[in-house]
Structure 1
């Protein structure tokens, strides 16, 4: 399929209007709110579906691993393709493709023709489209939103993600109880609504310095990597992002394993996980206020300095449900930091490189987070929960060291505020 790039000149977003009156961003954000809710519903429904078809827990886990591997492996190519093609068209194609995939899966379930091979194929194809859509969507934000409002825009995206992760699993369980096909029909509908919202975006969806496909995909990916390597700020971001994402993901996974071993019920575990997600959601809602309290480089150092203390407190509370309270507190500051980081990257990266640069940064964080469950799971099994929490604590300390060593670079790269 060939996706043609737009050649119309790109208008500058109006910085005098508040973000809530930005029509194009509101359309994008609203469509993705529904879409991410649908995705969160499917995250729960997929393993339940595998288990209901006499699949084993290993097969259910393999499905999640397949999706994670695809998301990591396709991250860089997706960024290059998002820079090469019309980003609005990319999002439309991805939404349409995912709607067809999940509607087809729901139909197959209703007809009793959904073997494991079909489920794995749908999950894998959807993961590819998820990554490609994400690269295009993140890249297009800087074309829809004025530079001064980018941190606020990314904070709203953080709130959207945390809200979906909080509401999705309970809704998924309710819909699955109505019928095995219902969650996937809901997800298909969510993609259709997202497609409708994206289609009404008016602003040109491709940079004026557009890629036309004259270079190879490999060349484009290497160009993005070279840009990141040449930027002291982006290098510092990656050095901080990888270990802190490992620490946050590992701590949450460790908490589940530790609390399970301590004999807490599945209901209690669900409440504990919900409390952690609420911490992130509240942080996203208050991100703008938090950002006004401190300059970015100080906010970042404070957040990364507080995290080891919170992880230490969680380790001391090992086995008690109270151990999730410090983790929820740690997630409170994450959205404020993330929104400024991505706002800064979007504001300073050339339009034609947005997808590639953001994909490189996302890959570093995603890859580290993907390794966390297997690493801490192994540590818990052989050395216990305290050792696992100590492992993630060490990763958090590495991130703090990286921030301190690069504080001058961070101080010189905060004008997005």
Structure 2
């Protein structure tokens, strides 16, 4: 005869509470949303401020290069810190550092003592703080979200980013039109609000049963690289994402600078980023359903071939709203592929390694974000807008061919299968 203990053990575990009632996830999501909203507001404002102070298109691209380069160089140490320090402390330090740096930039420029050098220095600080925040956020997410809900959480985080790109650049353009320092003041305030929100976050304890890593920063980098090298599907998709990010980030800056040089109003230039973000939001809303309907191979094929078909339109459509719609079309295709790849990476990585892996991957992604605008700025000044668009088209075309032929992409596992596994 079954005992009460036997019957209790035989009962299925209760379903996890929905994400809407997960306090820690919602605090983390909200803090990140506020911070990204401010950061997206300065995305357009940085190059516009450089140009307004008498700088060139190349100098405008150097600011974006500085943000990406500092983020790349800080990625591995940031990942090691996220695996060794209290992750809440790292998040708080990153937001406080960003708030102080942006506030000082606004003050120095307002009093006439800040020029291109000051903007460049703040861009470096922002890149480092972004690396700290991003790697720690990624390492912390699987600890606050049940395994079965991780894919949905990743998709919602993608929607958060694109929602910020809808509101942020347009708001930044409007604020810049009122006073050119307002976008930077707004980001400083946003980072302070994020800091306050994170004060209420309760970080869960680390999982037991995992050996403590004793290696230093260099050892952390090596272990992250070894893990990446041993996972062929992850390695291949990281390469695809890096090249895609390089070409797309360069294309975005080129479109913004071309619109600025053509005399488009600040609000219309801000609308380029807003439209791009709107496409990403729609794609992120569709991603939870599409990631169950599409294989990872199909999602990556749709993204790369779609970009190769849409980007050449930037050479013929009017600058401003029309070019923003083209970029929105590319952004619409990205969230499903991104959610599939990111969920897989989080599920197969042990907690003690998540920060380091995020840091190693952050090197490639941040380097692409840095080199893309720099290469785009050089091509724009030396070859012109049409030639730059054609170069980007060629890159997307080659990338689509690689995805079509890569065996590792064809066999990439569905995250749903991993979510169901214990």
Give the TM interval when normalised to the shorter protein.
Answer: 0.7 to 0.9
Partner of 1:132: 132
Query: How many angstroms does 1:122 deviate by?
Result: 3.0
Match of 2:412 in 1: 410
Structure 1 position 144, deviation (Å) = 0.7
CA 1:184–1:241 in structure 2 vs 1: closer, same or farther (change >3 Å)? closer
Q: Give the C-alpha shift of residue 256 in structure 1.
A: 5.4
Aligned to 1:157: 157
Higher alpha-carbon deviation: 368-377 or 189-198: 368-377
- For structure 2, the residue ranges without an aligned partner over 5 or more in a row are 1-13
Aligned to 1:382: 383
Give the deviation of 1:91 after TM superposition.
0.4
Question: Helix, strand or coil: the match of 1:338?
Answer: helix
Equivalent in the alignment of 1:7: none
What does 1:96-245 correspond to in 2, within 5 Å? 96-109=96-109, 113-114=113-114, 116-204=116-204, 206=206, 208=208, 214-245=214-245
Counterpart of 1:6 in structure 2 is: none
- 1:216–1:115 CA distance, 2 compared to 1 (3 A): same
> Are 2:99 and 2:189, in contact at CA under 8 Å, matched by a contact in 1?
yes
Query: How far 1:329 moved relative to its partner?
Result: 2.5
Instruction: State the alpha-carbon separation in 2 of the partners of residues 325 and 56 from structure 1.
Output: 27
Q: Taking structure 1 as reference, are residues 328 and 107 closer, same or farther at Cα in structure 2, changes over 3 Å only?
A: closer
Alpha-carbon deviations, 1:65-107, whole Å to 9, x = none?
Answer: 2222211222222212211211111001212222233334444
CA contact (8 A) 1:29 1:157 kept: yes
Structure 1 partner of 2:89: 89
Which residue does the alignment assign to 2:344?
344
* Gap change, CA 1:412 and 1:215, over 3 Å in 2: same
- Residue aligning to 1:400: 403
Residue 338 (structure 1) shift: 0.7
Deviations 1:327-368 (A, max 9, x none): 433321211111121111111101011011122223323323
Structure 1 residues 18 and 318, CA gap change in structure 2 (3 angstroms):
same
Please report how far the alpha carbon of residue 51 of structure 1 lies from its aligned counterpart in structure 2 after TM superposition.
4.9
Listed one character per residue, the Cα deviations across residues 124-145 of structure 1 (whole Å, up to 9, x for unaligned) are 2232111111110111001111
Query: Using the alignment, how far apart are the partners of 2:317 and 2:45 within structure 1?
Result: 29
Q: What is the rounded CA distance, in whole Å, between the counterparts of 1:150 and 1:325 in structure 2? A: 31
What is the aligned counterpart of 1:318 among 304, 316, 319?
316
Deviations 1:253-277 (A, max 9, x none): 565577789x684566554443333
Q: Matched residues in 1 for 2:258 and 2:113: separation?
A: 39
- 2:4 aligns with none
CA contact (8 A) 1:84 1:210 kept: no
Q: Distance in 1 between matches of 2:393 and 2:50?
A: 34
Q: Which residue of 1 aligns with 2:360?
A: 360
Preserved contact between residue 276 and residue 324 of structure 1 (Cα < 8 Å): yes
Distance 2:122 2:376 in 1: 29
Q: Which moved more, 1:274-283 or 1:105-114?
A: 105-114
Change (3 A) 1:264 1:397: farther
Partner of 1:22: 22
Indicate if the aligned counterparts of 1:244 and 1:399 stay in contact, CA closer than 8 A: no
Supply the distance in 2 between the matched residues of 1:255 and 1:101 (Cα, whole angstroms): 28
Question: 1 CA distance for matches of 2:53 and 2:305?
Answer: 47
The CA distance in 2 between the partners of 1:252 and 1:102, in whole Å, is: 23
Q: 1:285: which partner in 2?
A: 285
Please state how far the C-alpha of 1:110 moved relative to its aligned partner. Answer: 5.2
Identify the range of structure 1 (20-29 vs 119-128) with the bigger mean alpha-carbon deviation: 119-128
CA contact (8 A) 1:247 1:395 kept: no
Q: How far off is 1:21 after superposition?
A: 1.2
Residues 345 and 358 in structure 1, CA contact (< 8 A), matched pair in contact too:
no
Q: Distance in 2 between matches of 1:60 and 1:287?
A: 34
Q: Which runs of 5+ in 1 are unaligned?
A: 1-13
In structure 2, distance between residues paired with 1:309 and 1:401: 15
* Structure 1 stretch displaced more, 269-278 or 128-137: 269-278
